[in-house]
Amino acid sequence: MSKITFLGAGSTIFAKNVLGDCMMTPSLQNFELALFDIDMQRLKDSDQILSNLKKTLGSTCVIKLYSDRKEALRGAKYVVNAIQVGGYDPCTITDFEVPKKYGLRQTIADTVGIGGIFRNLRTIPVMLDFAADVREVCPDAWFLNYTNPMAVLTNVMNTYGGVRTVGLCHSVQGCVSGLFDLLGMDHGGVQAKIAGINHMAWLLEVTKDGKDLYPEIKRRAAEKQREKHHDMVRLEMMLKFGYYITESSEHNAEYHPYFIKRQYPELIDRFNIPLDEYPRRCVNQIKRWEGLREQLMNSQDLEHVRSEEYASFIFEAMETDQPFKIGGNVMNTGLITNLPKEACVEVPCLVDSSGVNPTYIGDLPPQCAALNRTNINTQLLTIEAAITGKKEHIYHAAMLDPHTAAELSMDDIVTLCDDLIEAHGDWLPKFV
């Protein structure tokens, strides 16, 4: 029996979406769905909910819980990763509250920035442990990484983990429809080309029946910016730099030095930037889960509609050799020619029985590549810190981060990093 292993299966709603999709896919029937998580209660919750769903769908997939990670992975053909190391409490709280003492504010803190750096540093060792298990018990498996920080973790798994890894993010799927809905345009029949890095990929081309839609998009965007709305940062970046970005405005507000600035506090209101957005979401999700858990656990007629998550479509394409196109995070093997070869990039990929096949992009527009490189600098230095164990590279990563460098002096950045290392304690490896 072939096996799909889900690491972090205590992420119950996400596991329901991905594995529910698998249970609806004809070519994946009779697969074992192996569930693993370090939180046994959440794991049992997921098992119960997925079992309820299996009955409703009439699936012949076999659901099995594992308390031993290596056994969960043994013989797997596909692995889905959706872990979060340290969770909301204590690690996310630490990532937000310690920088606040220095006047450094964040919105999401899961990609770059000081929060993204430290999320990477506590997650990379766990991912490398996963990689060692995969190499031992399922060396031919495809590893689908959904965990942020996407670019760094996918890079590490490919470069240092020795595991065939593709990173998957929702932002490419919703980019065009979200933009068109915001501007009151019909996205039916629209063709798009998107490439860059995760959370900062670019809508390079957007056409319908051969007509370039960017002039109309920018005209409407300029009008839209006269009112408050949720996507003001991205529209501003497009109007200034020429291209729309895949990830949300709350994310992009902290990827650049232009928006969250103590010396210009009026920018927060002007661009409608939700500071501390991720902790707020965490609190709300915890409250919602308390009620939703009982509903899902006790439902004997649980329903599911196949989601837009890439995972089941990737598995289906590999099993049936019917090609499927995704936006995937892969190593830059000459795909984007004006970004570093050491970087992980996000490009269109064709999936079939031969695997994940990324497409060649060539040069990005120079201003887009330049903005990408500002984030890649921090990503690569974060990897250097994690692999070498040298504290100085944590400092380098933070000093090269656009938002952090725009707000703090070099001395304050070093002290902040030291404070965060101390505050995270055993959640981090030891650095010298």
> Known binding site: residues?
148, 169, 199
Binding residues for substrate are 148
Residue 415 to residues 96, 119, 184, 381, Cα–Cα distance (Å): 15, 18, 47, 18
Identified catalytic residue from 170, 187, 393, 396: 170
Q: How far apart (Å, rounded) are the C-alpha atoms in residues 355 and 342?
A: 21
Instruction: Quickly tell me which residue has 């915890």 as its tokens.
Output: 286
C-beta separation of 397 from 382 below 8 A:
yes
Cβ distance 277 to 255 under 8 Å? no
Residue 403 known to be catalytic: no
What's the DSSP call for residue 182?
Answer: H
Helices and strands of the chain, counted as H and E runs: 17, 12
CB 423: neighbour CB atoms within 10 A? Answer: 17
Binding site listing for Mn(2+): 169, 199
Residues forming a β-bridge with 197: 200
φ, ψ of residue 46 in degrees (nearest 5): -65, -40
Contact at 8 Å (CB) between 214 and 365? no
**Distant-in-sequence, close-in-space partners of 55: CB < 8 Å, separation ≥ 6:** 300
Residue 326 in contact with residue 348, Cβ under 8 Å? yes
3-state secondary structure of 185: coil
Residues with catalytic roles: 170
